[in-house]
Amino acid sequence: MADTLTPLTFRCLRRLSDGAFLSGEQLARSLAVSRTSIWKALHGLEQYGIEVLRLQGRGYRLVAPIDWLDAVQIRRHLGVHAEAYDVRAVDSVESTNTALLEQAVAGARGGLVLAAELQTRGRGRRGRAWHTGLGGALTFSVLWRFELGAGSLAGLGLAVGVALVRALHSLGVDEAMLKWPNDVLVRYQKLAGTLVEIQGDVLGPSLAVVGIGINFRLDDFTRSRIDQAVTDLVAAGAPRDRNRVLGRVLAHLAEVLQAFSAQGFGPLRKEWESYHVYAARPVTLRLPDGGQEEGTVAGVSDDGALLLQTSAGLRRFHSGEVSLWAAGDDQRRRSVS
């Protein structure tokens, strides 16, 4: 896949967003470019999950119009939390987390949100790529500043999971559950994931860039590139309005981040455990050295560590390179590890 789409491609796609046919000549005239430029701009979009119908004598039409992100519309869904955020939507970026970390170092204020239509080098936990098609996901990052020291932010990733499940439940995705440490599942299929990156001094202040990726509508090409069982919001019955969904997620995230700033993860721990898909179940952990540990999930600690009751007693595991699956379930292991 090419690194990015051109600005002209995005301009063309926005002109086609109403689902009507437009000829190459009409597009070229309205965008003040040549018809050849239009052809090049709309060529090869299948790899981005975009299908453009081309009919001689009629022109171009999007088979499935794109629900574009709009910062104004997103803010309308933030309710009382609108003042907590500065929402910015961009067409394309390599990684929203990387871009926001750079802005944080340059002094950007807390509450800055960067949402991208297309992330060309999205990052997940353990360096895994996050694959999305254009308009097929919600990929965004939030910069939040804390007076707490960086060491006091342990458990923040799990707190973000609580916010995601609250938001999804409010949107009608009642089966949304959490998988330690950073995944959201529906029927054991991955719907969303998070990546929290922390910087700061031991005694404070500190900052976190909270990256979130939510599958919205997965196209066949994107689905074929993902090596685990996945689902999306459309299949899960959520509203087909990306701006509304993002606004609700950000609203719940503001509530949780404000609570975390005041009291840490402790008060959220029981709620997180109630959402854990493997609560009180036998599981197997794959460890960084290639070894395994088996036991029964006994909850999580106030710093976000997984508590595992093993034959040798109660053990604590922090996320790092550890991955988790249900004991003895090889299919599920391939699906959600």
Fold adopted by 278-336: SH3 type barrels. (2.30.30)
Q: How confident is the model at residue 322 (pLDDT cuts 50, 70, 90)?
A: confident
Architecture of the CATH domain 71-274: 2-Layer Sandwich (3.30)
Token pair listed for 239: 């509203």
- Which phi and psi (to 5°) does residue 13 adopt? -65, -35
pLDDT higher than 90, residue 281: yes
Token pair listed for 178: 């959490």
Domain boundaries, the chain: 7-62, 71-274, 278-336
pLDDT higher than 60, residue 199: yes
- CA–CA separation, 188 vs 335, rounded Å? 8
Token pair listed for 254: 């503001």
Q: How confident is the model at residue 124 (pLDDT cuts 50, 70, 90)?
A: low
Q: How confident is the model at residue 116 (pLDDT cuts 50, 70, 90)?
A: very high
Percent of the chain whose pLDDT exceeds 70: 92
The DSSP element (H or E) to which 294 belongs, if any, is strand 292-300
Q: How confident is the model at residue 329 (pLDDT cuts 50, 70, 90)?
A: low
Coil vs helix vs strand at 46: helix
What confidence score (pLDDT) does residue 246 get? 98
Average pLDDT in the chain:
90
**Overall average pLDDT of the 56-81 stretch:** 94
pLDDT higher than 80, residue 138: yes
What confidence score (pLDDT) does residue 205 get? 95
As assigned by CATH, the class of the 7-62 domain is: mainly alpha
The DSSP element (H or E) to which 306 belongs, if any, is strand 306-310
pLDDT, tens digit, 9 for 90 and up, residues 35-50: 999 999 999 898 888 8
**Overall average pLDDT of the 213-230 stretch:** 83
Q: How confident is the model at residue 320 (pLDDT cuts 50, 70, 90)?
A: low
pLDDT higher than 70, residue 99: yes
What confidence score (pLDDT) does residue 333 get? 43
- Which phi and psi (to 5°) does residue 187 adopt? 55, 45
pLDDT higher than 90, residue 126: no
**Overall average pLDDT of the 192-216 stretch:** 95
**Beta-sheet strand order (sheet of 306-310):** 313-317, 306-310, 292-300, 282-286, 323-326
- CA–CA separation, 182 vs 168, rounded Å? 15
Q: How confident is the model at residue 328 (pLDDT cuts 50, 70, 90)?
A: low
Kindly report whether the global pTM for this prediction surpasses the value 0.75: yes
What confidence score (pLDDT) does residue 337 get? 40
What confidence score (pLDDT) does residue 331 get? 43
**How distant is the alpha carbon of residue 92 from its chain centre?**
15
Same-fold call for 7-62 versus 278-336: no
pLDDT higher than 90, residue 336: no
**Packing angle between helix 7-15 and helix 24-31, nearest 10 degrees?**
120
Q: How confident is the model at residue 216 (pLDDT cuts 50, 70, 90)?
A: very high
- CA–CA separation, 55 vs 192, rounded Å? 37
What confidence score (pLDDT) does residue 3 get? 46
- Residues 117 and 69: beta-carbon distance below 8 Å: yes
pLDDT higher than 90, residue 65: no
Q: How confident is the model at residue 129 (pLDDT cuts 50, 70, 90)?
A: low
The DSSP element (H or E) to which 204 belongs, if any, is none
Of 55, 60, 56, 48, nearest in space to 22 by CA:
60
Candidate ranges 3-12, 62-71, 216-225; pick with highest mean pLDDT: 62-71
